[in-house]
Structure 1
């Protein structure tokens, strides 16, 4: 079995400077930004987010964290890895009871049912959420940098603990890498799915296979897109997939 924190640690040990995630925002109202995170930089974001969860929000094995962030997005990737590093359950199903909510809409209906709320801004250069937040809401952009760059979990998840709840499916830590469409080893893969549960598993799989992900949020780029050649994309991950149904 390969726990997510171990997968990331091994990827950094193999080549800390290799890109882990390259993100393009192609949404109509988006920033148009390109962001690249090396494996070492991704691990740094994960460590800070995991410390925020563990120290600031008392998240631990048995806790449930609802992640209301878009896919594919680099912020969703590091928050997912952080939740798993703490040993907690990540859910993208909004009806699942959760202790903590990570969201771009801290005043929305989802926030009413969670004990703790983290307000997440999507643009890379944001230094705060951009408006006043109600008392008790963590401003990720303003506060995450205050947490340590290294993370040590106070408690460890068990293999059969639930790591992910997505589309009604409950996936254990032992099964996070099981049953997915197989990506080539060391591939530079396009990831453009809007399925958040599939997305976080694809990112983990690519790290496990010593690969990297090019994330495109917006219309799926065609093979003639010059950016894909420039990025060295040599594989495309499925955009939809369900157990027993296969990839699309």
Structure 2
């Protein structure tokens, strides 16, 4: 099968020039807006990196141990597109296999064990991390040299911490329906997406529903109403 979460999300894009993900971090002041084309390009570069450099076989496990950030979203989308079974940092150690690659941050680097390790800078512009240990690569630098188009290959059925694509899509659809999220919506959300359930409900769900997501972390509640107005949000989820 070539069906992937990423493929389903991108298949629902109507206008590639419009924002698909806008990321705010109120603790740092970051605002990064990615059109569907830009986020798709980052996902493609990540998928090509995983396939061409790591040599992933569909169903292989890839660890994504990162906090909420636009780079994390791009890595998740790229990993799913490549056919990987994504393991998050929240996965129980006794249920996880050996990942063929790991994507992490400088802060979490010592806890990661994989043959191929990539560090995401979590910089607004994906500026590189300097002075990394031997055998550890900067994600942005490694991904940029790869093509921004990806030809989907066969993918595994299990996609996220032991859950199948059918399971993930079903939960995402139920969540979107309960939240009133539909195609064309512009959703501002302060909900976290740090663990498996949160990734499905608060990141995958609005994107699979065809919405544009404005994700706010470390949210300053006093600014949410004005931000929703300036971003032309049609729905706010807290």
TM-score category by the smaller chain?
0.7 to 0.9
TM (norm. structure 2) is 0.84
Query: Is 1:106–1:118's contact at 8 Å kept on the other side of the alignment?
Result: no
Cα RMSD of the aligned pairs, angstroms, is: 2.3
In structure 2, C-alpha distance between the alignment counterparts of 1:198 and 1:107, rounded to whole Å: 21
Structure-1 separation of matches of 2:107 and 2:50: 17
Q: Find 2:54's aligned residue among 50, 57, 81.
A: 57
Q: Is the 8 A contact 1:77 1:200 kept in 2?
A: no
Q: How far apart, CA to CA, are the structure 2 residues paired with 1:16 and 1:56?
A: 28
TM-score (norm 1): 0.81
Taking structure 1 as reference, are residues 109 and 77 closer, same or farther at Cα in structure 2, changes over 3 Å only? same
Q: Deviations over 1:96-138 (max 9, x none)?
A: 3322110112773322x21210011011224321x21222212
- Picking from 187, 190, 195, the partner of 2:188 is 190
Q: For residues 153-192 of structure 1, what are the structure 2 equivalents within 5 Å?
A: 153=152, 155-158=153-156, 161-165=157-161, 170-180=162-172, 181-182=175-176, 183-185=180-182, 186-192=184-190
The structure where helix makes up a greater share of residues is: 2
State the Cα distance separating 1:209 from its structure 2 match. 2.1
Aligned equivalent of 1:91: 87
Moved over 4 A (4+): none
What CA distance in whole angstroms lies between the structure 1 residues aligned with 2:158 and 2:62?
Answer: 12
Query: For residues 41-68 of structure 1, what are the alpha-carbon distances to aligned partners after superposition, in whole Å with 9 as ceiling and x for unaligned?
Result: 1100100011111111112312111111
List aligned pairs for 1:4-153, cutoff 5 A. Answer: 4-12=5-13, 14-27=14-27, 30=28, 32-71=29-68, 73-92=69-88, 93-94=90-91, 95=93, 96-97=96-97, 98-105=99-106, 108-111=109-112, 113-129=113-129, 131-153=130-152
Question: How far, CA to CA, are the matches of 1:199 and 1:87 in structure 2?
Answer: 21
1-structure distance, mates of 2:219, 2:114? 32
For 1:209, the equivalent position in structure 2 comes to 209
Deviation at 1:176, TM superposition (A): 1.4
SS in 2 for 1:177: helix
Provide closer, same or farther for how the CA distance between residues 65 and 191 of structure 1 changes in structure 2, counting only shifts above 3 A. Answer: farther
- Give ranges in structure 1 of 5+ residues lacking alignment: 239-248
Cα distance 1:64–1:222, how it changes in 2: closer, same or farther (>3 A)?
farther
**Structure 2, unpaired ranges of 5+:** none
For 2:199 and 2:20, the matched residues in 1 are separated by 13
